């Protein structure tokens, strides 16, 4: 990845920033046009009423021997130039550009032909003014000007009438985009939830049909990654199977030759040496089996739901065939109390689990003791229990015995400390539970694995 350091981008945020910018520019453009149009409309509306008093005043200019004057009573003049919103001023200039009446400070208007009128803007005494100027046929010029309050108000109202809906539309658009993006990205969220809900061993491809075409390339790439992972896990399993073969065959040869040696005439010390080597060989074989079982339990792909219905009674029956001879040899009464019990499970791992429980029980039970394998259904759960008359496991040790290579302090025997770790691993793989306790009536050990019934 080459985006180290840059903050994570959000599709939604990027889309919204772009959309808001574009909308803002459009609104700005539209409001400039609207402003100009509104201004023109305001001037059109009010300029006429500005020109009218100018024309009235021009009509009432009297020129005689004493000079020129506006022949209107002061009152009438006030009415003419009155406005309830704006300050109105006027000025009358003679044909020789002498100021006859009105505001003396107002500068001369642009040159006009007789009978012509003009409208123009000007700053006067720090105020923006709109002026109407009229040049009468006699050369006298009348200017009437007013401040822009009512024009501004009209422009404002027009702009407002235009802009408020525009902003509303923009807001709705942005909201829709926000919602739409969230909705559009929902398949991604679903994909995320699906992946988060998976177990680390579940390498099934994500269904591509459910995802929209924009996401399906991502799903496709992800699935090919899953496929590669799956292949490497398959390769690992194949490697384990081969390793089993490679380890066990020489161990089988070694064991066989040691047993053949033990059948010969040997001096007592040689015999005891060979017997020790024989024991070590058997332990090495068992350890290899257990390590492989553990690795296998970890590497079997987990599809959330285990593979098939396993009859625990049949599993116990196979164990009876595998373990009875050894139990008799050790003078341990290996018995069975089998009631129907089935679960969804792995048909290879569940026997492995029971083997480890029985192996452990036989290991820690003295000659003359009893080991009983039980199956059945209790509280809706199918169980597989092994109890023995061995020394038992102290309450404070009961959690630790499931740790790998853990051995209860002070116990003898040649246990690898892996048996119960394998049991735990397999139980976990099946969504089951395992408990350690004592036999009914106390004493000994009872270990029960329970699974959802099938």
Partner 1 sequence: MRMLVVEDDRLLADGLVTVLSRAGHAVDHAATGKYADSLLARTAYDLLVLDVGLPDIDGFEVLRRLRLRRSPMCVLVLTARDAVDDRVHGLDLGADDYLTKPFSVTEFEARIRALLRRNLPLEMTLSIAGLSIDQSAKRVRVHDKPVDLTPREWALLELFVTRPGRVLSKEQIAESLFNVDGELSPNAIEVHVSRLRAKIEPAGVRIRTVRGFGYLWEGTDG
**Which residues would be at the binding site for partner 1 (CB under 8 A)?**
241, 244-245, 247-257, 259-260, 263, 281-282, 285, 289, 292-293, 317, 320-321, 324-325, 328, 333-338, 347-348, 351-352, 372
Which tokens hold the place of 259?
A: 């047993």
Using the minimum distance from each CB to partner 1, give the nearer residue, 25 or 325. Answer: 325
* 139: Cβ contacts below 8 Å, ≥ 6 apart: 94, 95, 114
Q: Nearest Cα to 357, choosing from 295, 396, 394, 312?
A: 312
Using the minimum distance from each CB to partner 1, give the nearer residue, 16 or 244. Answer: 244
Using the minimum distance from each CB to partner 1, give the nearer residue, 223 or 281. Answer: 281
Using the minimum distance from each CB to partner 1, give the nearer residue, 36 or 328. Answer: 328
Minimum distance of partner 1 from residue 365's CB (angstroms): 14
Strand pairing partners for 310?
A: 343
Minimum distance of partner 1 from residue 379's CB (angstroms): 23
Using the minimum distance from each CB to partner 1, give the nearer residue, 19 or 307. Answer: 307
DSSP 65: T
Which tokens hold the place of 413?
A: 């025997």
Minimum distance of partner 1 from residue 406's CB (angstroms): 24
Minimum distance of partner 1 from residue 358's CB (angstroms): 13
Residue 130's alpha-carbon distances to 25, 50, 112, in angstroms, are 31, 9, 17
The DSSP annotation for 226-258 comes to HHHHHHHHHHHHHHHHHHHHHHHHHHHHHHHHH
Using the minimum distance from each CB to partner 1, give the nearer residue, 305 or 321. Answer: 321
For strands 99-102 and 61-64, give the pairing.
unpaired
Minimum distance of partner 1 from residue 296's CB (angstroms): 8
Using the minimum distance from each CB to partner 1, give the nearer residue, 178 or 344. Answer: 344
Minimum distance of partner 1 from residue 176's CB (angstroms): 58
Q: Nearest Cα to 217, choosing from 191, 195, 249?
A: 191
Question: Do 335 and 365 touch, CB atoms closer than 8 A?
Answer: no
Which tokens hold the place of 188?
A: 């991604």
Q: Quote the CA–CA distance of 454 and 449 in Å, as a whole number.
A: 15
Minimum distance of partner 1 from residue 370's CB (angstroms): 8
Residue 276's alpha-carbon distances to 87, 262, 412, in angstroms, are 122, 11, 16
């Amino acid at each position: 990845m080459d985006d180290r350091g840059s903050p994570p981008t959000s599709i939604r945020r990027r889309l919204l920033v772009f959309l808001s910018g574009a909308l803002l520019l459009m609104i700005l453009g539209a409001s400039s046009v609207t402003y100009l149009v509104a201004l023109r409309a305001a001037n059109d509306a009010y300029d006429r009423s500005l020109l009218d008093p100018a024309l009235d005043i021009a009509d009432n200019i009297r020129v005689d021997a004493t000079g020129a004057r506006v022949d209107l009573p002061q009152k009438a003049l006030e009415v003419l130039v009155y406005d309830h919103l704006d300050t109105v001023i006027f000025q009358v200039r003679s044909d020789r550009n002498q100021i006859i009446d009105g505001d003396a400070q107002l500068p001369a208007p642009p040159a006009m032909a007789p009978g012509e009128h003009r409208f123009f803007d000007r700053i006067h005494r720090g105020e923006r003014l709109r002026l109407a100027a009229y040049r009468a046929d006699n050369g006298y010029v009348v200017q009437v000007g007013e401040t822009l309050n009512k024009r501004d108000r009209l422009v404002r109202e027009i702009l407002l009438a235009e802009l408020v809906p525009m902003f509303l539309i923009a807001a709705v658009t942005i909201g829709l985009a926000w919602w739409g993006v969230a909705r559009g990205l929902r398949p991604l969220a679903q994909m995320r939830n699906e992946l988060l809900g998976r177990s680390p061993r579940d390498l099934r491809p994500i269904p591509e049909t459910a995802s929209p075409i924009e996401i399906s390339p991502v799903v496709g790439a992800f699935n090919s990654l899953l496929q590669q992972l799956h292949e490497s896990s398959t390769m690992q399993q194949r490697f384990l199977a081969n390793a089993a073969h490679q380890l066990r065959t020489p161990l089988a040869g070694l064991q066989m030759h040691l047993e053949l040696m033990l059948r010969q005439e040997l001096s007592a010390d040689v015999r005891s040496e060979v017997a020790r080597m024989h024991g070590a060989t058997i332990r090495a074989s068992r350890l290899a089996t257990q390590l492989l079982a553990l690795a296998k339990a970890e590497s079997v792909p987990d599809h959330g739901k285990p593979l098939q219905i396993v009859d625990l009674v049949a599993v116990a029956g196979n164990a009876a065939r595998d373990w009875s001879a050894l139990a008799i040899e050790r003078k341990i009464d290996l018995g069975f109390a089998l009631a129907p019990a089935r679960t969804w499970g792995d048909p290879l791992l569940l026997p492995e689990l029971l083997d480890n429980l029985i192996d452990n029980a036989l290991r820690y039970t003295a000659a003359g003791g009893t080991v009983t394998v039980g199956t059945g259904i209790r509280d809706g759960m199918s169980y597989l229990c092994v109890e023995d008359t061995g020394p038992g496991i102290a309450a404070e040790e009961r959690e630790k015995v499931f740790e790998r290579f853990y051995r209860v302090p002070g116990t003898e025997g040649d246990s690898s400390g892996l048996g119960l770790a394998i049991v735990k691993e397999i139980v976990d793989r099946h969504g089951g539970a395992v408990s350690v306790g004592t036999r009914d009536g106390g004493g000994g050990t009872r270990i029960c694995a329970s699974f959802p019934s099938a």
